Structure 1
Amino acid sequence: MRFASYEHQQQRRVGAVGEDGRLHPVPGERTLAELIAAGALSEAGATALDAHAGPHLSAVRLLPPLQPATVRDFVTFEEHVEGVRRSVDGATGVPDAWYDAPTFYFGNPYAVIGPYDEVPLPPGSNVLDFELEVAAVIGKEGRDLTPEQARDHIVGYTIFNDWSARDLQSREMRVGLGPCKGKDTATTLGPFLVTADELEPYRDADGFLRLALTAEINGEVVGKDLLSNMSWTFEEMTAYASRGAVVRPGDVLGSGTCGNGGCLAELWGVRGTQDPPPLGPGDTVTLTVEGLGTVSNTVTTGPPAVPLPAARRRPRERP
């Protein structure tokens, strides 16, 4: 099944998406995250699809499928690491430590936007980039899971665009704590939550989901890849996320950016020049993932950065 969160006639609803593109509202006022947490998603979807259809997708404003409690963004595509390191850090190759485990950072759950919402330029940035990813959504709580156990904890998948201010990111990461304001303004989720069973036909012999990924800027294709080029499966990522910690319903785990043009920074690193140029107001980024749909966001002018002083060198007094 496919589920959407949407706004129609000043009301926010959750609906199952019919094959004709019409939304079947789920009874009650629970959010998608609440339905997942209650273990009631499948039942609610089946009930909705059996009932009268509501508005067509074209007549509503699609919202993020869910507001996640946490967002973990992994980096599982080797080709992306190679290109972006060259562009952002000026380094070559892939760090040996990358091969040890599916590394991730925690993103900002409050920055999640819908599949067709506008994206303001982050304050203080002139080098905005997109990142084409797929995210798994956790369906039930687990801790210290094996990859085999983790499969039952993934309720579905959605498209994930990790918008990145590369100039801010490059400067911040020299501190050694990872991205900060470089990743803080917007993360696109959508257009739907597609339940895990819907994607099983795409699973290859090694357990990877073989989905075609396409990135376009202003209608021009700039990147194409396969999701199965990930170096870890979503089940392995979930198991790692749960190691010594708890994953809970509604948690989002991003795949990390695909290769072969999954973001501009990778292309800049490969080509040695900012071609295509950084995103600016009026640019529209459209990402399509086989089996999941399409998201399309337009960049707008953002607010200016509120000025702050540089660090003050203070006397190291002691009590």
Structure 2
Amino acid sequence: MKLATYLDDTGRDRVGVVQNDRIHSLPSELTMRGLIDAGLGHTRSLGNDALGSPGVPLDSVHLLPPLEPASVRDFVTFQEHVEGVRRSIDGIVGVADAWFDAPTFYFTNPHAILGTGAQVRFPASSVDRDFELEVAVVVGRGGTSLDVSTARDHVFGYTIMNDWSARDLQRREMQVSLGPAKGKDFATTLGPWIVTADELDPYRDSDGFLDLWCSAEVNGAQVGRDLLSNMGWTFETMIAYASRDSRVVPGDVLGSGTTGNGGCLAELWGRNGRQDPPALRDGDVVTLTVEGIGTLTNRVGTAGPAPVLPPVRRRSAEHARSVAS
């Protein structure tokens, strides 16, 4: 079942079921987070009831981000991506040994979520602008220190994720051995809808990976294509690790990390030794397509200039000694 959030003809946010290029409304008081809290069984029942209505053409409504996430964790589970981007960002060849220990992630901004069709406004100071082709799992049940087998029951569904990246800002800030932060937190696109877990079960291989083709296009030209099953860890392992000594809750979004073989431009820059293909520019259209889920499209733009920060207040050795005394 495909579940979308959209604006109806009165300008209200609604959730609905997408089928055969039509969208069928669910009761007006429902939100996507409410559906997730209610669980897959109840959601499927409501969705089947909604499919009994005629619905409206999908192209007649404005799709919004499918949900307001409780949090967004973004993982790095594709070795080929790590190799290429590490060379592009840090100039280092290979993969850090620590990458093989666990599915590492960082937290990004749940308040800067965009939907398909939205303009993505990069920081005005950024030139090295990039996309990242990912699939995200949406957590349906909360838990702490879950094991991998249990984590499968905590999957609500999946959506496409574009982790937009200002590579020049990222390259600078990660010299402090933190981040990425401002190189990432200006925009993340999710959509076009959430596909419930049961709908993608036929694509699951014997090791629990989803065998889905993923592709990325810029202005209609394909720049990347990879199988989602080339991930180093399953989504269930990602959920289990995120919950370790911590907590996941319904509505959490966990990104797979960027696919390999051109899942982002920086990987190709690292492999080619130059910015080929070129960085994104205003007006470029980025289209991500994932088998079994759908297509996510956005146009690149630029935000207004940011206010200037005051310079750092430096502390002298003499001042440090006076404080200690």
User: Do both proteins adopt the same fold according to a TM-score greater than 0.5, normalized to the shorter chain?
Assistant: yes
Identity %, equivalent residues: 62
Q: For structure 1, which segment, 230-239 or 41-50, has the greater mean C-alpha deviation from structure 2 after superposition?
A: 41-50
Question: CA–CA distance in 2 between the matches of 1:123 and 1:240?
Answer: 36
8 Å contact kept, 2:70–2:110: yes
Q: For structure 1, which segment, 126-135 or 295-304, has the greater mean C-alpha deviation from structure 2 after superposition?
A: 295-304
Per the TM alignment, residue 178 of structure 1 is displaced from its structure 2 partner at its CA by 1.6
Per the TM alignment, residue 34 of structure 1 is displaced from its structure 2 partner at its CA by 1.4
Per the TM alignment, residue 48 of structure 1 is displaced from its structure 2 partner at its CA by 1.2
8 Å contact kept, 1:211–1:226: yes
Q: What is the RMSD computed on CA atoms of the aligned residues? A: 1.1
Letter in 1 for 2:51: L
8 Å contact kept, 1:3–1:65: yes
Question: CA–CA distance in 2 between the matches of 1:281 and 1:219?
Answer: 15
Asked if 1:203 corresponds to 2:204, the answer is yes
- 1:1-319 residue pairs with structure 2 within 5 A? 1-9=1-9, 10-18=11-19, 20-39=20-39, 40-50=42-52, 52-314=53-315, 315-316=319-320, 318=323
Question: CA–CA distance in 1 between the matches of 2:142 and 2:95?
Answer: 33
Letter in 1 for 2:45: E
What SS does the aligned partner of 2:111 have? Answer: helix
8 Å contact kept, 2:211–2:227: yes
List 4+ stretches of structure 1 deviating above 4 A.
Answer: none
Letter in 2 for 1:313: R
Per the TM alignment, residue 38 of structure 1 is displaced from its structure 2 partner at its CA by 2.5
Question: CA–CA distance in 1 between the matches of 2:44 and 2:139?
Answer: 14
Per the TM alignment, residue 252 of structure 1 is displaced from its structure 2 partner at its CA by 0.2
8 Å contact kept, 2:83–2:94: yes
8 Å contact kept, 1:213–1:288: yes
What is the CA deviation profile of residues 94-131 of structure 1, one whole-angstrom value per residue up to 9, with x for unaligned ones?
Answer: 00000000000001000110011100122321111000
What is the CA deviation profile of residues 204-232 of structure 1, one whole-angstrom value per residue up to 9, with x for unaligned ones?
Answer: 11110000000000000000000000000
Question: CA–CA distance in 1 between the matches of 2:203 and 2:14?
Answer: 30
Per the TM alignment, residue 177 of structure 1 is displaced from its structure 2 partner at its CA by 1.3
8 Å contact kept, 2:213–2:225: yes
Per the TM alignment, residue 310 of structure 1 is displaced from its structure 2 partner at its CA by 3.0
Question: CA–CA distance in 2 between the matches of 1:113 and 1:53?
Answer: 28
Letter in 1 for 2:22: R
Question: CA–CA distance in 1 between the matches of 2:126 and 2:210?
Answer: 35
8 Å contact kept, 1:172–1:178: yes
Where do 5+ consecutive residues of structure 1 fail to align? Answer: none
What is the CA deviation profile of residues 132-179 of structure 1, one whole-angstrom value per residue up to 9, with x for unaligned ones?
Answer: 000000001111111100000001000000000000000011111121
Per the TM alignment, residue 245 of structure 1 is displaced from its structure 2 partner at its CA by 1.1
8 Å contact kept, 2:124–2:302: no
8 Å contact kept, 1:121–1:280: no
